[in-house]
Amino acid sequence: MSNHDIQDVVSLAKRRGFVFPSSQIYGGWEATYDFGPLGTEILRTLKNLWWENFIHRKPNVVGLDSAIISHPRVWEASGHVDSFADVMVEDKKTQKRYRADHLIEDTLNIPTDGFTPQEFDELIGKNNIKSPDNNELSQAKYFNQLVEVQIGTTSDTKSTAYLRGETCQPIFYNYGLVKDSMRMKLPFGVGQIGKAFRNEIKVGPFFFRTREFEQMEIEMFLHPSEASEQLETFKTESMEWLTSLGISKDKLKFREQEFKERAHYNKIATDIEYSFPFGWKEFQGIHYRGDWDLTRHGEFSGHSFVEKIEETGEEFVPHIVEYSIGLSRLLLVLLSDAYTKEEDRLVLKIASHLAPYKAAVFPLVRNKPEITERAKKIFADLNLHTPTAFDDRGNIGKRYLSQDEIGTPFCVTIDYDTLDDGTVTVRDRDSKEQIRIAETKLVDYILTNTSV
């Protein structure tokens, strides 16, 4: 169990520039967050590491960066216009909307995945369930999560389009263009990092569930006989990558989704869950989507996705095995996992290669120009190689505490001895141990101890 709750993470994230409530000067905007300077650094590092690991290192996987708004038919073909819905109930007095499954699960503590509106109505009636404000609830109904936008310059040419509800759909309709332009042969994959939008009824906690979020997805196109091996490969590679980010192994687990929980396109869905301060929750999915996507895009567009095996003459529509992780949700995993309260300090024990700053340089005292000058020079040299902070405010103890909170793995102090013998003190974030090393070896030392 965590020794902190999510509010601890929220307050550190805001106070130290990781995550801000969006539009704060206008009173905020529900469930929307802006990533501050330090959150942005971690997100950039994560994206680069992920791209390197899952795209660049795979000879049969390439990347894509597609438009957010595509032809509206894409979302009809994908099934989202008809089936991408949660069941909602409304407080008859306050008009506040709730996800029926969350309300029932909170009240009766029973799983309700995949229940129909009728099934929810029966449960609500039988158990006399009220809204959290103790008011009558409306009848349950489906609520579509696609975010609609009006595109066009004049009202008569306006047409309804959708912000993408998942980043993978453009990968599907680009199948032929990627395959031909890149001369790909099955099995091959296409990955993408980008924003997705969902009109979620219930949001939070914090930025766990938001209406705008970023996903990192890979779609592997293959023959159906290759699907189970690919699912296993994704499971193994996912866990390897997540643990390489320093996430505690005992707080990660796989969970197979039941038939009723699965999205309309999935034949098999395995979640990866993390033990957040608010319970075990999903933050990654590995899905077997069968031939749903290419068959549907074929039907709706008239384009053929049929492949033929020359040797046997077998014709088939490629099946899809999907890897999908929420980038922002992964950041919440990392912040929750790294947040550590110790007796005398708060430390963000994030893996050193993910830390926003890899080192911080301090002059021991402020009133000695020789020491300050030397510290500034050492800072400038180190900062050329790796993100480095400089701090000359307050006393050394306070500077350590300040860097501990943002996860800086090493603090380097320049003092009187530095002027005499060219050595500096390097203090380790986690052990608090200090060593003395030659200034000339500093860059190497920090790079070696903060790389993957």
Residue with Cβ nearer ligand GAP (209 or 429): 209
Answer yes or no: are the C-beta atoms of 330 and 283 closer than 8 Å.
yes
Work out how close the CB of 79 gets to ligand GAP at its nearest, in angstroms, rounded to a whole number: 12
**Kind of pairing between the strands at 212-222 and 188-197:** antiparallel
Residue with Cβ nearer ligand GAP (168 or 338): 168
Work out how close the CB of 215 gets to ligand GAP at its nearest, in angstroms, rounded to a whole number: 5
Q: Give the Å distances, CA to CA, from 67 to 54, 192, 197, 244, 422.
A: 21, 11, 13, 31, 54
Q: How many residues does the chain have?
A: 452
Those residues whose C-beta lies under 8 Å from the C-beta of residue 228, and which sit 6 or more positions away, are none
Residue with Cβ nearer ligand GAP (271 or 404): 271
Work out how close the CB of 169 gets to ligand GAP at its nearest, in angstroms, rounded to a whole number: 8
Work out how close the CB of 16 gets to ligand GAP at its nearest, in angstroms, rounded to a whole number: 22
Work out how close the CB of 270 gets to ligand GAP at its nearest, in angstroms, rounded to a whole number: 11
Work out how close the CB of 182 gets to ligand GAP at its nearest, in angstroms, rounded to a whole number: 22
CB atoms within 10 A of CB 111: 13
> Whole-angstrom Cα distance, residue 369 to residue 394?
17
User: Is residue 297 within a helix (H) or strand (E), and if so which, with residue range?
Assistant: helix 292-301
235-253 burial code (b ≥16 CB/10 A, e <16):
eebbbebbeebebeeebbe
Residue with Cβ nearer ligand GAP (337 or 415): 337
Residue with Cβ nearer ligand GAP (168 or 347): 168
Answer yes or no: are the C-beta atoms of 109 and 151 closer than 8 Å.
no
Per CB under 6 A, residues contacting ligand GAP are 166, 168, 198, 200, 209-210, 213, 215, 217, 282-285, 322, 324-326, 328-329
Work out how close the CB of 378 gets to ligand GAP at its nearest, in angstroms, rounded to a whole number: 41
Residue with Cβ nearer ligand GAP (219 or 415): 219
> Whole-angstrom Cα distance, residue 40 to residue 31?
18
The residue of the chain with the least Cβ separation from ligand GAP equals 326
Nearest to 142, CA basis, from 80, 189, 190:
80
Residue with Cβ nearer ligand GAP (210 or 352): 210
